[in-house]
């Protein structure tokens, strides 16, 4: 990579206080028709973003206003079409340093008539000409126009490449294998023009030398990425030309090849960064259910792919590496699977609990199973992700919003958005057994519309006392004991139960980031908390009873309404 970087660096001209507008490049883009206005915009804006000073777009009149509306930075000339005159184009061309022909040009034979004129004019001016998309389509039958013009750079995708090979060699190419060799032969047959064959690896050759661009890129193949490449290549090709011999390129590497390498690396790196930022939306099994998730990282160690996923809407404590068997494409069929599983799961819960209806004050509540046919099945259209099994779903909403309130910056004593975002969350690993209980809790609340019976049968106070007892043979101070002694939360601890305590643990890592503890104190605390969680796992049967949930009484107001 370092040598790739040094090649690219060597064609980038240094900035200077002496330079004036236009010296860093005036690039032309010939393209843009009624159907395709995006392609010339992407190409033109990429040329500018790479660093040229001015971009001129030559398009059909019915595309001009649209392209202008995308960006005031582009200078748009609506000169293509039936009224085209070579003179008007040549007038502008004189001022250009390179020209990109093809993005969004269209393939109407009558509209392509002036192409030969434009190509000849650009050649006469001895500037780099980049052919892409419909410019390549035109070249298929007119390749002799560029034969031997070594400042021509062709950027075919694999389909365009095989068509070109077919036209130039005169016989069909049944397979797309050996792109390497075929690219070298084609570039040589075209008189050492530069070819950039885009694909999984980009192959760059002038028929003598060949280089590959294997930067990681992105698995996302949306339209327009080729336009980014051809536009940026417009600028790089001019720079390579301008640097000439002073660029000190490796032996046999031409300026056009170096420019192509720069454009390929840049496009692929932009693709990689965009993918790293936005990830791929997927569905992922967690326990018995499927959740919407985002794939943030992929690891292929030992040739077994693993995916690091974030469950959409869930705290990042739940982020984890999963193997392929748990991942599903985000499509309608799998979304249906997700809904089916939720229904099955609901049914299972109902059948387990249906006979034992919980009671409050001796009055039997209406069971969840009594929900009427046709009533909204929340999870079938509202993904689970929207509610977390955390303090934010129920009792501790105040504390969760207290954290969120730290975000506005109106008070100078408050932390900034950047500080908030960059705050390192303390990782508290919740054991899988307890995670399953949290998921059950979420389903009870959001799917079955239950509430936790208060005061809890086994209260937080009781749990902490049990813990203190269990630890009594150990040291005198335990988190449980100190919480009871110093916290002043006796009343709450006598009302809430194990599930509330567990919900608190989901957010606790985030809260601890706000404490003043030093690293060793924090380590000690976290290890105590993990020990306490293990204690909860051991006693889960007692502390997390399934009959802790009740169905709330129907709202009389709603009923009368």
Question: According to the binding rule CB under 6 A, does residue 202 interact with ligand NPW?
Answer: no
Q: Which residue is nearest to ligand NPW (CB)?
A: 38
The answer to whether 217 is a known ligand-binding residue is yes
Query: With CB under 6 A, what is the number of residues at the site for ligand ATP?
Result: 17
From 47, 54, 119, 134, residue interacting with ligand NPW (rule: CB under 6 A): 134
217-234 burial: b if 16+ Cβ within 10 Å, else e = bbeeeeeebbbbbbbbbb
The answer to whether 445 is a known ligand-binding residue is no
The answer to whether 223 is a known ligand-binding residue is yes
How many Å apart are CA 124 and CA 504, to the nearest integer? Answer: 74
Cα 291 versus chain centre, distance? 18
Q: Which is nearer to ligand ATP, 200 or 557 (CB)?
A: 200
Instruction: Let me know the angle formed at the C-alpha of 23 by 18 and 26, rounded to the nearest 5 degrees.
Output: 160
Q: Which residues contact 347 (CB under 8 A, 6 or more apart)?
A: none
Cα 197 versus chain centre, distance? 26
- Which partner from the list ligand ATP, ligand NPW, none does 225 bind, CB cut-off 5 to 8 Å by kind? ligand ATP
Q: Give the DSSP per-residue string, 70-129.
A: H-TTEEEE---STT--HHHHHHHHTT-SEEEE-TT----HHHHTTHHHHHHHHHHTT--E
Size of the chain in residues: 561
Question: According to the binding rule CB under 6 A, does residue 131 interact with ligand NPW?
Answer: no
Q: Which is nearer to ligand ATP, 46 or 192 (CB)?
A: 46
Q: Which stretch binds ligand ATP (CB under 6 A): 6-14, 219-227, 242-250, 252-260?
A: 219-227
Beta bridge partners of 451: 550
What are the E-state strand segments in 339-454?
Answer: 359-360, 363-364, 451-452
How many Å apart are CA 207 and CA 526, to the nearest integer? Answer: 63
Question: According to the binding rule CB under 6 A, does residue 38 interact with ligand NPW?
Answer: yes
Question: According to the binding rule CB under 6 A, does residue 231 interact with ligand NPW?
Answer: no
Question: According to the binding rule CB under 6 A, does residue 224 interact with ligand ATP?
Answer: yes
- How far apart are CB 214 and ligand ATP at their closest, in Å? 9
Beta bridge partners of 320: 309
Strand order in the sheet with 320-323: 320-323, 306-311, 289-299, 280-286, 327-329
Q: Which stretch binds ligand NPW (CB under 6 A): 66-74, 98-106, 321-329, 530-538?
A: 98-106
From 13, 51, 61, 224, residue interacting with ligand NPW (rule: CB under 6 A): 224
Q: Which stretch binds ligand NPW (CB under 6 A): 11-19, 152-160, 248-256, 465-473?
A: 152-160
Q: Which is nearer to ligand NPW, 202 or 388 (CB)?
A: 202
The answer to whether 226 is a known ligand-binding residue is yes
In the block, tokens 């160690």 appear at 301
- How far apart are CB 137 and ligand ATP at their closest, in Å? 11
Nearest CA to 14 out of 242, 270, 237 is that of 242
Question: According to the binding rule CB under 6 A, does residue 133 interact with ligand NPW?
Answer: yes
Type and span of the H or E element at 535: helix 519-538
Q: Using CB under 6 A, list all residues that contact ligand ATP.
A: 133, 157, 198-200, 202, 217, 221, 223-227, 229, 264, 267-268
Q: Using CB under 6 A, list all residues that contact ligand NPW.
A: 36, 38-39, 103-105, 133-134, 157-160, 223-224, 226-227
Annotated binding site for (6S)-NADPHX: 104, 157-163, 227
């Amino acid at each position: 990579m370092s040598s790739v970087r040094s090649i690219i660096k060597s064609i980038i001209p240094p900035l200077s206080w002496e330079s004036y507008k236009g010296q860093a490049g005036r690039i032309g883009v010939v393209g843009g028709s009624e159907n395709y206005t995006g392609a010339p915009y992407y190409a033109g804006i990429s040329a500018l973003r790479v660093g040229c000073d001015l971009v001129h777009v030559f398009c059909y009149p019915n595309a001009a206003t649209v392209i202008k509306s995308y960006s005031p930075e582009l200078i748009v000339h609506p000169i293509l079409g039936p009224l085209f005159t070579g003179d008007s184009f040549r007038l502008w061309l004189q001022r250009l340093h390179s020209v990109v022909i093809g993005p969004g040009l269209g393939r109407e034979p009558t509209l392509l008539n002036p192409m030969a004129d434009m190509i000849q004019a650009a050649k006469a001016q001895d500037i780099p000409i980049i052919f892409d998309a419909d410019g390549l389509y035109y070249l298929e039958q007119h390749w002799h126009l560029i034969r031997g013009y070594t400042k021509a750079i062709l950027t075919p995708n694999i389909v365009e490449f095989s068509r070109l090979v077919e036209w130039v060699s005169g016989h069909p190419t049944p397979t797309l294998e050996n792109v390497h060799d075929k690219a070298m032969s084609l570039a040589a047959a075209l008189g050492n023009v530069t070819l950039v064959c885009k694909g999984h690896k980009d192959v760059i050759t002038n028929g003598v030398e060949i280089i590959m661009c294997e930067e990681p890129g992105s698995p996302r193949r949306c339209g327009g990425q080729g336009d980014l490449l051809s536009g940026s290549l417009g600028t790089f090709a001019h720079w390579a030309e301008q640097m000439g011999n002073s660029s000190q390129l490796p032996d046999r590497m031409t300026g056009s090849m170096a420019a192509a390498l720069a454009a390929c690396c840049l496009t692929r790196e932009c693709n990689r960064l965009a993918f790293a930022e936005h990830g791929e939306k997927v569905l992922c099994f967690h326990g018995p259910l499927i959740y919407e998730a985002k794939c943030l990282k992929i690891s292929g160690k030992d040739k077994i792919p693993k995916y690091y996923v974030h469950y959409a809407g869930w705290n990042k404590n739940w982020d984890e590496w999963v193997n392929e068997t748990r991942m599903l494409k985000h499509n309608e069929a799998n979304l249906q699977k997700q809904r089916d599983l939720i229904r099955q799961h609901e049914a299972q819960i109902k059948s387990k609990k249906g006979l034992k209806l919980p009671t409050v004050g001796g009055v039997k509540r209406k069971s969840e199973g009594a929900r009427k046919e046709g009533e909204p099945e929340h999870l079938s259209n509202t993904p689970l992700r929207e509610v977390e099994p955390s303090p934010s779903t129920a009792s501790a909403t105040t504390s969760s919003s207290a954290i969120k309130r730290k975000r506005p910056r109106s008070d100078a004593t408050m932390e900034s958005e950047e500080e908030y975002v960059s705050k390192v969350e303390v990782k508290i690993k919740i054991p899988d057994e307890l995670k399953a209980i949290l998921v059950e809790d979420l389903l009870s609340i959001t799917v079955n519309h239950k509430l936790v019976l208060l005061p809890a049968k086994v209260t937080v106070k009781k749990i902490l006392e049990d813990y203190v007892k269990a630890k009594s043979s150990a040291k005198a101070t335990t988190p449980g004991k100190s919480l009871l002694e110093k916290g002043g939360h006796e009343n709450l601890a006598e009302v809430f139960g194990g599930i509330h305590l567990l919900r608190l643990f989901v957010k606790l890592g985030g809260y601890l980031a706000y404490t003043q503890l030093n690293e060793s104190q924090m380590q000690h605390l976290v290890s105590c908390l993990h020990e306490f969680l293990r204690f909860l796992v051991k006693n889960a049967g007692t502390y997390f009873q399934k009959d802790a949930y009740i169905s709330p009484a129907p709202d009389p107001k709603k009923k009368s309404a």
